[in-house]
Every structure is written in structure tokens, then in C-alpha cells.
Structure 1
Amino acid sequence: MLVKVFGSAVFGVEATTITIEVNTDKGIGYHLVGLPDNAIKESCYRIAAALKNNGLEMPGRKITINMAPADLRKEGSAYDLTIAVGILMASGQIIAKDVNQYIIMGELSLDGTLQPISGALPIAIKAKEEGFKGFFLPKPNATEAAIVDGINVFGVENLKQVLDFFEGKSLLEPEVFDTRTAFFNALDHPEFDFSDVKGQESIKRCMEIAAAGGHNIILIGPPGAGKTMLAKRLPGILPPMTLREALETTKIHSVAGKLKSVGLMSQRPFRSPHHTISNVALVGGGSYPQPGEISMAHNGVLFLDELPEFKRDVLEVMRQPLEDREVTISRAKFTVTYPSSFMLVASMNPSPGGFFNDGDTPVNPSEMRRYMGKISGPLLDRIDIHIEVTPVPFEKLSDLQKGETSAQIRQRVIRARERQSTRFFKFDHVHYNAQMNTKHIREFCVLDEASLQLLKQAMDRLNLSARAYDRILKVARTIADLDDCVNVLAQHIAEAIQYRSLDREGWLG
């Protein structure tokens, strides 16, 4: 007897419907075809034990299972439940007439209970697009799949619940999730707040500018100056995610299996990988490609603490995603693309010893130069703001007065972003100032004579490099937006010049 049951496979952040064809015939054997990986091949042992422990049996006949389309690689243990239902139907142990209207996914334990799967959200989206009536999956994944309207999502705890539903012995209530209410209720509750930071007013100003224009930023300072503390608070002043951004971000985390029963992500992600990370773990990949840290930080912040300690080849693989805001992973038979539009926040000590070359802690300039040399010029070229972070004096640390809150800063950032959205509405891939190319800079960063002279003098006196020119104009445009100015003025240029520390000749001492 031949039956067909439907599952789904995830490639990149998109799902593809998989047809599980199960045929029983005379003879003995278990044949699984259609490019399954080892986890799927081992499913026969899990399924046999689960059936026996639930009063059912693995048929003593020849079983042939095909996973179509047969030329696509399938991976993971999420097909256990799909195959088990197919075997029971093909052997006549259950009758389920409308099973072809449902997507069925889940990993079976030996007692028939279900374990969570990855990629539930993109699977639910694809199921709705293809007109399926419902989606059966493990209970812990039900909330994320229920984000999708127009399809019944049934979170089940074990095999028996699924079988009883199809045989009409019991009813299941579909999972209900009010996406918009849950999303908007969680928008204004950042985990970390800038009011907790003592002093560092100039650095807070830098973080505000970076957030307003989407600029990448590097913080340079000795240990204990507050670099990590400031970086962790950056997501709290970024504009709230739109519903579209939240869905994009949730899909990536769903594919990676990192949602942990959260329905819809409403806070911008903050990823902080250790400096021992490999280039594959950072950008994504592997034999069966998975999203890397830069994709997990999509629509959020990627924080690289102690930047020079990262392997050089790891940092270099970020250059293309920083420009294109997506990463493409190619294999012999397929290609997957993961979005990776993130803000890069990096921190570093100025020298191997951790200190600047000042009177109190003299450091050999050649050591500083060698330490800075671990970071390539092309990577620094993609970082708009360089700022020095100095230790906070005791008077500031002991001050009981609270500083400005993240909510207050965020309101100014939102207003600046709204001006940029209006300015770039006719451009498809430009939404904020950091994304401007040379053509946009010439159009939207026109300087008057006083501003031009100031910029010329600064480049001559400070020996700023040519690469600093466009970066200064982009940052100045953001400062003007924060000041609600139509044109970039001399004071905006003057402030932007301060934020190019690493381009100044003689900075190393």
C-alpha cells in the first residue's frame, strides 16, 4: 500500500515542502531513499521503539520510503513523526483520510514524546503559501509557528495525540498567538539602560550618532573604561523593529534553533562572539549550511570585543557582508543566502598592555603600531566612527545622579531616522546615512564654503587619510539630522572630524 505524507525542509531561511512516500510490499527490509543524512537514516530505530511503546508495531514487511524531491539533501531528525505516520497508514494500523492537508514534523523519543525542531517559522510560512490546512509540530515550537495567520498550528506532545486526532478520537485546539499585541507590548523594554552609565558623555553622544545613522563604530580604550558596558546598551537606543524586521529576524533564529519558545522577537539582537570564533561560525556555512553570527545579528548589533585578538582571516570574511548586507554560501549543488544587515560595534585596547602612550603609562609606539596592524585597512575603511574611551574619574563614579535614559536618547534617534527615510524613499537599498554611496554623498552632503574650508584645513593639519573624507561627510550628515538641519553646517563637520582618531597621523605616538 502506498501513502503520501508531507513534511518540510529548510534551505537558508526559506522552506521547501517534502513529500514522504511510504510503500509496503511483500518481503522484509527497510529502505530509505531521497538523499537523507545519517540522522534520518537512524530514524527507523527511534520509530520502531516509539511504536512499540505506544501499543503499535513496525510492520514485518518490506518498507520503502522516498523523500521527494529526491535530488535535495535532507537533514535532521525532524522527519521522525512524518515517517512514523506514513508507516502506520501504509500498514493499515490507522486510517487518516485528510492527512495530505497537513504538514507533520517532529523528532520522536523512544517513548513517543516529541522533541523540538528547528525552522518552524519558515515551514509554517511555506505551508500557508501552499494552502495546507494545518501544521503538526512539537509543543515547544508551537508559539513561533503560530505567528503565521491563516493556518492551524497544532502543538503536540507525543505521537498518540497526532494519531488520535486523525482517527477522530480527540480534538486538538490550534495554538493562538496575537502577534501584533505581543510585539508592540515588548518594544519599549530594553534590557540595559544608558542611565546606568556614569560619565562618558562624549561616548554616549557617539553612540547616539552611530545609532541615528546606522554607522559602524570602534571604541578604543584601556581595560575597565566601559567599552563593553556602552556597547551592550546600543540596541536600547536603536529605533524599534518594524513587524517586517521582527519576522525576518525571527526566521533566522528559528532556522538556527535559538528561539527557546519565544514567539516573535521584538528586541533587536545583540551578538557578542568570542575572539576564538572560526570564520565559518562567524559568517555561516558548514557541510549543511547554518546561519553564522553576522546573520544572527541581522537588524541588530554585532559586538566584537578586543578586535585585534580575532584571527585576521576571520575578520576579512566580514568585508563583503558589511557592504552587501547579506552573505551567500555556495556548495556544489546549491546556494543559500542569509541576510546580514547589522551594525558593527568593535572595541580594542590601544596596545598589547592595554594603555595609551601617555606620561603615566609609557608605551612603545612600535608596539601600538604592530597591535593596530592586526586590523586591515579595508576593514577599518568600513567603520565610520573611531572614538577613544578614557577611564571615568572617581567623582563621576560616585555621583548618585542618574544620567539620560535610553528612552530619551531613542526618541532623538527615531526622529533622525524618520528624516533619513523621507530623504531616501526613492532608493530601494538605502534607508539610513551609513548606506550612502559616493553618488548619494554628493547629492545630500553639499557643503557651504565655510564647511569646505574647515574640512580642508582639518585634512591638512591632522594629515587625515583620503578614506576619511567620505566617512566624515556621512557622519556629519547624521549629526545634522539629529539637529534637524536641512544642510550640513561647519559645526557638524567639526564634530565629525573628531570621530576619526585612527586616521590621524601621529596618533600612535
Structure 2
Amino acid sequence: MLIKVFGSTVFGVDATTITIEVNIDKGIGYHLVGLPDNAIKESSYRIAAALKNNEYNFPGKKITINMAPADLRKEGSAYDLTIAIGILVASGQITAEEVGQYIIMGELSLDGNLQPIRGALSIAIKAKEEGFKGFFLPKQNVKEAAIVAGLDVYGVENIKEVIDFFEGNGTLEPTVINTREEFYKTLEFPEFDFAEVRGQESIKRCMEIAAAGGHNVILIGPPGAGKTMLAKRIPSILPPMTLWEALETTKIHSVAGKVKDSGLMNQRPFRSPHHSASSVSLVGGGSYPQPGEISLAHNGVLFLDELPEFKREVLEVMRQPLEDREVTISRAKFTITYPSSFMLVASMNPSPGGYFNDPNAPVSSSPSEMQRYLSKISGPLLDRIDIHIEVTPVPFDQLSEKRNGESSAEIRKRVTSAREIQSERFKSYEYIHYNAQMTTRQIRTYCQLDETSLQLLKSAMERLNLSARAYDRILKVSRTIADLDNSEAVNSNHIAEAIQYRSLDREGWLG
């Protein structure tokens, strides 16, 4: 008897429906075709044990299973439940007339219990698009899949529940989630707050500007100055995620198997990979393609601590994603694209010893050591960082203050207001939403300077030996400062403040 059941595979961040044809005929054998990997080939052992432990038989006949489309490689153990149900129906052990109207996915334990799968949200979205009636999956994944409205999503703990459903004996009910209600109900404020930061008022101002315009930022300062502490608090002042951003972010984390029990992610991600990370772990890919850190940071913050300690080739692979807001991974057998619109926050010591220009420094570095250290950051990468902030240690009298500083909630209000101005400004552009994304054309349109501002910028570039790359960056940042001031025009005071945030372009830093 021939029966068709349906599963799904995730390629990139999108799913593709897989038709699993199960044919049982006279003879003996188990034949699995359609480019399955080893985990799928081993499924017969798990399925046989799970069926026996739930009082069903693994047919002692010739079983042929085809996974179509046959030219697409299938990976992982999530097809166990799909194949098992197909075998039961094809062998006549259960009757399931509507089995073809459902997507069925799940890894089987030997007792028939189900283990979680990856990409549940992407699979549910595809199932709805293709008109399937429902989706059976492990209970651990049900909340992320139930985000999709208009699809019956059933979270199951054991294969017996699925069998009982198709035979009309069970009480299994679909999980229903009001996505908007769930999004706002679980909305919490981030753990870290700028109110806990003592001193560093000028640095907080820089962070506010960076968050308001979506600017990439680098923090330069000696060990213990508070670079990491400040970076961890940036998500607390970023504008709240929209529902669309939350769905988009959840989809990526679902593919990577990193969605927590809450289902829908409503906090901006903060990713902080170690400096020993490889280029594949950073941008994604691998023999079984997975999103990397820059995609997991989509709509959030990617923090690279001790930037010069990262391998240069690892940092260089970020140049295209920083520019295009997506990363394309090309291999001989596949090409996939992951979204990667993130805010880069990096930190570094000013020298190998960490105490450059500090008269009280215990260790000093030679000019050649300095040059070697700083040259690890290439000009093209630095060109994509708008704001350079010098972080200095906080004096004891400020550290010992009992009064809290301005809270993240108060800063966030100003940042959100500035972002709303930018959203209105760029509403006619499909891929530009905030100032950091402006191209040269938009810079010339929205950052026009009067004669006083133009002369100030010219004087600063000549006197401070600022590089040519600084010009557009200063204009972008000054546009954001003007938005925070609710100013239609970019004035000389906005230009003057933006000039301060180009430390690494000055003579004596990068040569």
C-alpha cells in the first residue's frame, strides 16, 4: 500500500515542504531514498523501538520510503515521527484518511516520546502558505509554531497522541496564541540599566546618539574603564521591537534552535561571541548551514569585546553584512542568505598594554607594537563604524556617589522619539529606516549645511587631520544629533559634537 505524509525542511530561514512516500510490498527490506543523511537513515531503529513500546509492529515486509524532492538534501532526526506515521498507515495498523492535510515533525525516543526540533516557526509559516490544515510537532516547540494564526498547531509528547488523534480516540486540542496579546503581555524591560552607571555622562550621551541613529560604535579605553558594562546596557535604550521585528527575529532563532519557552521573542538580542570565534560561527554556514552570530543579532546588538584580538580574516567577513544588512553564503552545493541588520558595538584597548597616553601607566608600548596592534583593524572595517568613543576610568568620588544616574527608560523615550522622526523621513525608501543606513544620496539630501557649519567641518578636518572617510560619518551622526534636538536643520553645534566622535581618524591613532 502506498501512502503520502508530509514533513518539512529548513533551508536558510525558510522552509520547504517534503513529501514522504511510504510503500509497503511483499518481500523483506528497508529502503530509504531521496538524499537522506545518516541521522535519517538511522531512524528505522528508533521507529521500530518506539512502535514496539507503544504496542504496534514494525512491518516485516519490503518498505520503500521516498523523500521528495529527491534532489534536495534532507538532514536531522526530525522526520522520525513523519516516517513512523506513514509506516503505520501504509501497513494498515491505523486509519488516517486526513493524514495528508497535516505537516508532521518530531524526533522519536525509543519509548515513543518526542524530542524538540529546529525551525518550527518557519515550518508553520510554510504550512499555512501551502494550505495545510494543521501541524503536529513536539510540545516543547508548540509556542513558537502557534504564533502563526490560521493553522491548527498540536503539541504532542508521545507518538500515541498522534495515532489517537487520527483514529478519533484522543482529546488533543490545538494550541491557540493571540500573538499581539502575547507580545505585549510578556514585554519586559532589559536586565541592565544605565541608572546603575556612575559618572560617564559623556559616554552615555554617545550611546544615546548611537542608539537613536542605529550607528555602529567602538569604545576605546584602558582595562577596567567600563567598556563592557556600558555595551551591555545599549539594548535597554534601543526602541522597543515592533511585532514584525519580533517575528523576524524569532524565525532566525527558531532555525538555530535557540527559542525559549516563551515562544515569541520581544527583546532585542544581544550577542557577544568570544574573540576565538571562527568566521563560520560569526557569519553562519557550515556543512549543515546554520545562522551565525551576526544573524542571531538581527534587530539587536552584536558586541565584539577586545576587537583587535579577533583574527583579521574573521573581522573582514563582516564587511559585506555591515553594508548590505544581510549575509550571503555561497558554497559549491548551495547559496543561502540570512538577514543580519544589527548594531555593531566593539571595544578595544588603546594599545597592547592597555594604557596608551596614560602618564601613570605601569607598562608602555613601543611605536612598532602600537602600529602592529592597531593595524589588526582594517580601514574598510573601521569605515563602517560611525562613532569612536574614548572611555576613561571613573574617579573614585563619582564611583562612590549614592545618587543614581538617568535611567534607561528616560533615555529610551528620547531615542524612540528620534527614531520616529527618521521613520517618517525615510518612509518612501524601502530599505532605509534610520540615519545609519543613509547612502551618499540621502546624506546630500538630508544633511545640508549652512556656510558656518561647512567652514567648521572643513577647519576640523584640516586641523585634526581627519581622514576622508570621516566626512560622511560626521554628517550621519550630526543628523542624528539634530533629530534628538528635534531640529529640522543640521546646525554648527551638531557638527561640532559629531566631530568629537572620530578619535581613530586623528593622526597618531592609525598612522
TM-score bracket relative to the smaller structure: over 0.9
Deviations, residues 49-105 of structure 1 (Å, cap 9, x unaligned): 111111111100000000011111110100000000001111111111111111100
User: 1:437 Cα shift?
Assistant: 1.0
Partner of 1:401: 403
- Cα RMSD (Å) of the superposition? 1.1
Amino acid of the structure 1 residue aligned with 2:415: V
Greater Cα offset, 54-63 or 358-367: 358-367
Give CA deviations for 1:120-161 in whole Å, capped at 9, x if unaligned: 001001111111111100000000001000011100000111
Counterpart secondary structure, 2:123: helix
For the residues of structure 1 that align with 2:404 and 2:369, how far apart are their CA atoms? 39
Identity of aligned residues (%): 79
Contact in 2 for aligned 1:219/1:388 (Cα 8 Å): yes
Displacement after TM superposition at 1:188 (Å): 4.5
Residues 1:327 and 2:327 are matched in the alignment:
yes
SS of the residue 1:356 aligns to = coil
Contact 2:375–2:510, Cα closer than 8 Å, also in 1:
no
Task: Tell which deviates more after alignment, 271-280 or 178-187.
Answer: 178-187
Structure 2 counterpart of 1:231: 231
Tell which deviates more after alignment, 260-269 or 29-38. Answer: 260-269
SS in 2 for 1:236: helix
Q: How far off is 1:486 after superposition? A: 0.5
1:189 aligned partner, one-letter code: F
Say which SS state the counterpart of residue 347 (structure 2) adopts: strand
- For residues 196-275 of structure 1, the aligned pairs below 5 Å read 196-275=196-275
Output the TM-score relative to the length of structure 2.
0.98
- What is the CA deviation profile of residues 167-212 of structure 1, one whole-angstrom value per residue up to 9, with x for unaligned ones? 1111211112221122123335112111111111111101100000
- Equivalent-residue separation in structure 2 for 1:372 and 1:332 (angstroms): 36
Q: 1:171 — aligned with what?
A: 171
The answer to whether the 8 Å contact 1:213/1:433 transfers is yes
**Cα shift at 1:262:** 2.6
Question: SS state of the match for residue 248, structure 1?
Answer: helix
Letter matched to residue 230 of structure 2:
L
CA contact (8 A) 1:357 1:363 kept: no
Counterpart of 1:478 in structure 2 is: 480
Structure 2 unaligned regions, length at least 5: none
Q: Does the Cα contact within 8 Å between 1:357 and 1:364 map onto a contact in 2?
A: no
Query: Residue type of the partner of 1:449?
Result: E
Supply the distance in 1 between the matched residues of 2:420 and 2:371 (Cα, whole angstroms). 41
Residues 215, 387 of structure 2: 8 Å contact kept: yes
- Tell me the equivalent position of 1:497: 499
Q: Does 1:194 align with 2:194?
A: yes
What residue number does 1:149 align with? 149
How many Å separate the matches in 2 of 1:14 and 1:319? Answer: 24
| Equivalence for 1:78 | 78
Deviations 1:256-294 (A, max 9, x none): 000132310000000000001000110000112110000
- Aligned to 2:192, the other structure's residue is in SS state coil
* Aligned partner letter, 2:366: N
Structure 1 letter corresponding to 2:268:
R
1:182 aligns with 182
Question: Could you say which residue in structure 2 is the equivalent of 1:301?
Answer: 301
Relative distance call for 1:147 and 1:359 in structure 2 (3 A) is same
- Residue in 1 that maps onto 2:136: 136
**5+ long unaligned stretches in structure 1:** none
Spell out structure 1 runs of 4+ moving beyond 4 A: none
Which letter does structure 2 place at the counterpart of 1:295?
S
How far did 1:332 drift?
2.8
SS at match of 2:274: coil
Q: 1:204 & 1:364 partners in 2: Cα distance?
A: 32
Q: Which residue of 1 aligns with 2:49?
A: 49
Contact map agreement 1:269 1:301 (CA 8 A) in 2? yes
Deviations 1:419-462 (A, max 9, x none): 11111111111111101111111111110111011111111110
* Worse overlay, 306-315 or 125-134: 125-134
Aligned equivalent of 2:378: 376
Shift of 1:508: 7.1
Normalised by the length of structure 1, the TM-score is 0.99
**Structure 2 residue aligned with 1:437:** 439
Query: 1: CA distance between counterparts of 2:21 and 2:39?
Result: 18
Instruction: Write the distance in 1 (CA, Å) between the matches of 2:39 and 2:56.
Output: 23
